[in-house]
Amino acid sequence: MNATIDNKYVYKGFGCEGENLSPQLSWEGVPAEAKSLAITYYDPDAPTGSGWWHWTVVNIPTSVSEIPEGASGTDAMPAGSVEGRSDFGESRFGGSCPPVGDKPHRYFLTVYALDVEKLDLDANASGALVGFNVNAHSIAQAQIMAVYGR
């Protein structure tokens, strides 16, 4: 699988220095045996002891190959998909905003192909719960890493 993101979002297109819009994201090469897709956006370097979940989406149909810019939290998300609760406490995208003066953080945006049509998760599912379920059913993935500091 391959995934691409609009480069304007890598640094100041979202989060504390941007409009906090979810990025335009596209992918290709989904395995034929995939039954659904999922997306996670995670910062393992957040000073929490367990990282920071910025965005999780599950139950994306395999017929979908793109999420448009600013879709999170709107009807532009794929039909049937579920956005889980980010570590910001909202069931929508939360942009990058590392603490000022902290070392630059790595941000991993990952699209997963899953072996199940649906994960039994709702909008209150934590990033850790989504991550556990997604990893248990992942058959392929595409990942983009960005580094950002302030």
Q: What angle do CA 6, 109, 115 make, to 5 degrees?
A: 120
pLDDT confidence of residue 123 = 98
pLDDT confidence of residue 81 = 99
DSSP SS3 for 63: coil
DSSP SS3 for 129: helix
pLDDT confidence of residue 48 = 94
Give tens-digit pLDDT for 10-36.
444 556 777 788 989 999 999 999 999
Count Cβ atoms below 10 Å from residue 4 Cβ, excluding itself. Answer: 14
Residues of the chain with pLDDT under 70: 5-15
> What token pair was written down for 76?
């532009």
pTM for this structure? 0.92
pLDDT confidence of residue 2 = 78
> What token pair was written down for 79?
């039909």
pLDDT confidence of residue 11 = 44
Phi (first) and psi of residue 91, to 5 degrees: -90, 65
pLDDT confidence of residue 14 = 57
Name the residue type at position 94: G
C-beta separation of 38 from 58 below 8 A: yes
Show the domains of the chain with their CATH numbers: 2-27+34-148 (3.90.280.10)
